[in-house]
Amino acid sequence: MGRRAALLAAAGATALLTATGMLTAPATAATTPTTPTATAPTTAATPPVTTPASPTPTAAPARAAACGDGSYQAEAVQSGSTWTARRGSSTVYTGTDMRAAVQAAIGSLTSGRTSKERVVVRGSGSVSAGSRISLPSYTVLDVCGTINVTGSGSGDQAPVYSRGTRDIEVQHLNVTGAPLYGIFLRNVQNVVLGQIDMRLSSGLGVRIDNRGDTSQWTRNVRIDNVYVSGASSHAVETYGVDGLTVGTVTARNVGESGLLLNQTINATVSRLDAENAGTGTGYAAFRMANRNGRIGSSYSTNIRVGEVIARGGGRGVFCVSESGGATIDRITLSNTGNNAILIENCYNVNLAAQSGTVTGGGEIRLAARSEFPNNRDITIQNLTVTDSSIRESPCGENTTFRNNRLVNSSQSIC
């Protein structure tokens, strides 16, 4: 029996073939997702990839401490319109500029230190989009208040910025306004982002990359809990990262992707929850691009995602430009404006390893561009597909469709 015939026969246990050739099945309650996002861009130029060492990211804590709790070496405190930065009994700044106060507190830490020292910020204020608070190595920042970003800027400015550093931590951070980036980290290692909340009017939420020196990977990054709304670009984006552990990314009404992984390897993501991510675009709630998951020249499974939720927006899940080595355990996608799932020139991708639902929205599509090798070793399984379709064109190599239940949906596969 041919593969297509076998698949249709398997589906027949729970589905009926209508006169129009469309498979239907008794409706079952689909998982109702919490608010999700979706998005997807055009393929960027793919840089050469070297085989990196694989760090073991620190496990996420069971419970985040309250902001400002615990010991610290310096602080910046707001009283009325005045900011005062202190280290112990020494005052290192007094004035009305929040950014200057925080930077002065950071600057008062031990020079040349080789262990972390902590700065606590107590208060809220505004900083310019054309400025930054820079974190040197071995620095912990805990912001108990809100940074509102105003005005305009260019380049890689961000209210929290670090480049070419190691052992940095942002325990709490709330950002509003219009930053270029809420957090920008480049060529760093041993990073922890704790409880991050960004309610923006434009910009990109969190960007972590190695694009300053692509011969060096950014390594060992942990993101516990990030909420981003209103960004005009991505909620969270990585590029050139080896060793990424993500707890939860929540994206609401962002212009592009909820979580975009570029050329990132050895990554574990517990949950992405996106709503209206990349509306009207090809971006996806969860996107992998630019050889994401490729180690050397192979695609052993090293990208592990617990759950992707996408409601509305652009695409739900998008894998493109020679990416792969990925397993997503659970998928809940509904009413995406573009493809619910698009797999394009990817290798060793396992979607809905445990379970999934796709309801309405765009089709599930396996496709290919001529400039890259065709799809290979793709598995689409355990899905309940309602009011949508599954289509494979062109035929990939070693594609598997199994245990998918079609409800008022069609299927055209090789």
| Alpha carbons 393 and 337: distance in angstroms, whole number | 20
Structural domains in the chain?
A: 99-104+116-412 (2.160.20)
pLDDT value of position 62: 54
Closest to 103 in 3D by CA, of 148, 172, 159, 176:
159
CB 239 within 8 A of CB 265: no
- From 254, 258, 318, 329, select the one nearest 290 (Cα to Cα): 318
- Cβ contacts of 297 within 8 Å, gap of 6 or more: none
Beta bridge partners of 120: 75, 142
276 vs 239: CA distance, rounded Å: 23
The pLDDT score that the predictor gives to residue 3 is 40
Q: Measure the CA–CA gap between 253 and 277, rounded to whole angstroms.
A: 5
3-state secondary structure of 229: strand
Predicted local distance difference test score (pLDDT) of residue 8: 37
8 Å CB contact between 372 and 323: no
User: How many other CB atoms sit within 10 Å of the CB of residue 247?
Assistant: 20
Report pLDDT digits (tens) over 172-221: 999 999 999 999 999 999 999 999 999 999 999 999 999 999 999 999 99
Residue ranges in the chain whose pLDDT is less than 70: 1-64
Q: What is the pLDDT of residues 154-165, one digit of tens each?
A: 999 999 999 999
Whole-model pTM? 0.85
Q: What is the pLDDT of residue 65?
A: 84
Cα of first residue to Cα of last residue in the chain, in angstroms, is: 14
